[in-house]
Chain A
Amino acid sequence: MAVTEDTGTAPINGKPQSWWSGLSLASVPTPYWFVGAILLLLPVLVGPFMLFQVFGWALILGMIALSLMFLGGYGGMVSLVQMSVAASAAYMLAIFGESAITQISLGWPWWVAIPIALIIATAFGTLTGALAVRTEGIYTIMITLAIASAFFYFTRQNYVLFNGFSGFNGVTPPELFGVDWRQPTPFYYLTLFWAAVAYLSVLYVSRAPFGLALQGVRDNARRMEALGYNVTAHRIAAYVLASFIAAVAGILLVWLNGQVSPGTAGIGPAIDILIIAVIGGLARPVGPFIGAIIYVLLRTFALDFMVSIGLSGERFQLLVGVVFLAIVFWSPDGILGLWERWRNRMNSTDRLTGKARDNDGGSEV
């Protein structure tokens, strides 16, 4: 992770820096090196199941939730359509590329099918955005939810293009450079690479004029108009970037599962993305990935846990729900919020004396 999340700005009269300022490796704090090293060495540390089904899946869900974080955290727009955008990319790859459903799939080579899938999915997300940006708050949620459910029912009922209830199976990544990308370790590195690209892009753009202006729109849309910004155009542009990230994640998702069906983009998964983003925290791009890993661990191991305490295994959603409730109750800004409050308490200084406070957080009189 080569970009710090430091939002501070150095004094103007410092040494001249250019657009890559903040990208130098020396400015990366130690914890980032640590996390980065663990992520890179993970194939040595954990087994193929953890690598593929847990971390691979978590990185993909994290990317989709990241696209929601970009819209919600920076743009103030909560979109429930991100999972549908990812699923539409997955469907398009299955339709234009190769799958087991040969009577529908066109079987075009991957280097044609993937760009087409990305473009169509991004266009779909952008179009949804163009409809949604004229509304605010709960109405944005309702419009995107309506489009997400329309997409779900459409794919389930359309057999000509989307193969209805069963969808497409047998969608596999291409063999490239002599590597079978469906194998756990290569696939893990593939998702890790794209997740890192998505994460760093969002981080970088957040401090670029476009990202700053988006945060301005979030804080005060009317003032942004009065500063010369076309707020509607800015919001739609945010959907373009978010949809593209979700579309890339969708391609990885169909390779992970080997299949895509209406269930991929159901209302449940759409809301799960929101849950992931909220659990992790919407304030910073790392939040969605934290949320995704917690969500995937719960989904994977809740069943065993429920059985071990004598409850029926199919009630695993109960545990997911309880954890979600607990996090939102104790920390409305997610795990990130918990972490930041803890760190502030550790580092807090007394405003009057400038001395470090006791670590119990109590203020001196």
Chain B
Amino acid sequence: MNAMANTSSMASRLSATGTANALELRGVSKFFGALAAMQDITLTVKPGERRAVLGSNGAGKTTLFNCITGDFLPTSGVVRMFGEDVTKFPPHDRIRRGLRRTYQISLLFGGLTVIDNVYLACRGVSRNRFSLIRPGRSDALMHAAADLIEAVHLTDVHDTLVSELSYGQQRQLEIALALAGAPRFILFDEPAAGLSPTERRDLIDILNNLPGHMGYIIIEHDMDVALRVAESVTMMHNGRIFKEGKPEEIEADPEVQELYLGGGFTHG
């Protein structure tokens, strides 16, 4: 009886968290002085949903990411993650709750090796961040880090200093850092920027092979990439949400085409 009661209560808890949106923004605005970088953004992303955010430079896409991660505190509005109000949380508390992000310009630890970078990412979302004991080679997190390095095809440069990596390799490492631990929701800020066609294909493979429960938002200028990895699209313009919908709807939308110089938006 007792066990059954426990099971049912756990089931109800699970379904409660299951129904909570991965991400919910209500009326979020960010002003820098008088400049509105982002105004009155209301956005809902379901768990496991994969969404692309499009928009020209200055549309407020990266500001949106910074408000979600807590790099910036929004001027007004509420940010909820998996049902929890995180508006005032510092970034590290959001990350420990399963949020991850990559940066448009790689933010890596140039003075450390590839394995150390990924190991730090794994350690950051687990216990003993302040441990004074060296990790052994058989350390579980070391193995997790090595697996991630393999997943982003960087095994060859396992022990190389990050400052010596090529641009494309740094972009791949950027993704490995975001996949560390058990991410529930990831923000990718232009992961394909500056990649070669082959590297782009690799990137699309990596994104499409992510486990189904891992939702993400991806900022991407390259429509070819965006449409292949996203199931919904949010268009931003001048700090506001301009359109939301399925990729093909957005692509066919005359207003969107107008915005993108009459059809220069297609990927043909």
Contacts and interface: CB of A to CB of B under 8 A. Distances in A.
Nearest to A14: B137
A231 B92 CA distance: 9
Nearest to A22: B134
B143 A12 contact: yes
B138 interface: yes
B267 interface: no
B137 A212 contact: no
Contacts of B108: 219-220, 223
B121 interface: yes
A18 interface: yes
B173 to A, nearest CB: 11
B91 interface: yes
Nearest to B117: A216
Interface in B113-141: 113, 115-117, 119-121, 123-125, 128-138
Contacts of B103: 223, 226
Contacts of B158: 9, 11
Contacts of B111: 215, 218-219
Contacts of B123: 209, 212-213
A18 B136 contact: yes
B95 A228 contact: yes
Q: How large is the interface on B (under 10, 10 to 19, 20 to 34, 35 or more residues)?
A: 35 or more
Interface string A99-138: 0000000000000000000000000000000000000000
A226 B108 CA distance: 11
Interface in B128-171: 128-138, 142-143, 146, 158-159
A212 B129 contact: no
Interface in A294-310: none
A6 to B, nearest CB: 11
B177 A208 contact: no
Contacts of B180: 227
Interface of A is mostly: loop
Interface in A1-25: 7-12, 14-22
Given A14-B137, A204-B134, A225 B109 contact: no
A215 B109 contact: yes
A230 interface: yes
B36 interface: no
B110 interface: yes
A17 B92 contact: no
Nearest to A232: B90
A205 interface: yes
B107 interface: yes
Contacts of A12: 137, 142-143, 146
B136 A228 contact: no
Given A18-B138, A210-B131, A224 B113 contact: no
B134 A229 contact: no
A237 interface: yes
B91 A209 contact: no
Contacts of B116: 9, 212
A219 B129 contact: no
B96 interface: yes
Instruction: Indicate the member of A8, A19, A209, A229 with the most B CB atoms within 10 Å.
Output: A209
Contacts of A19: 133-136
Given A9-B113, A228-B124, A220 B107 contact: yes
Nearest to A225: B91
A222 interface: yes
Given A210-B131, A226-B71, 9 more contacts: A14-B137, A210-B129, A210-B132, A213-B129, A219-B112, A224-B120, A224-B124, A225-B92, A227-B125
Interface of A: 7-12, 14-22, 204-205, 207-210, 212-213, 215-216, 218-220, 222-231, 234, 237
Q: Would you list the 5 A-B pairs with minimal beta carbon distance, nearest first?
A: A227-B124, A228-B124, A228-B95, A18-B136, A219-B109
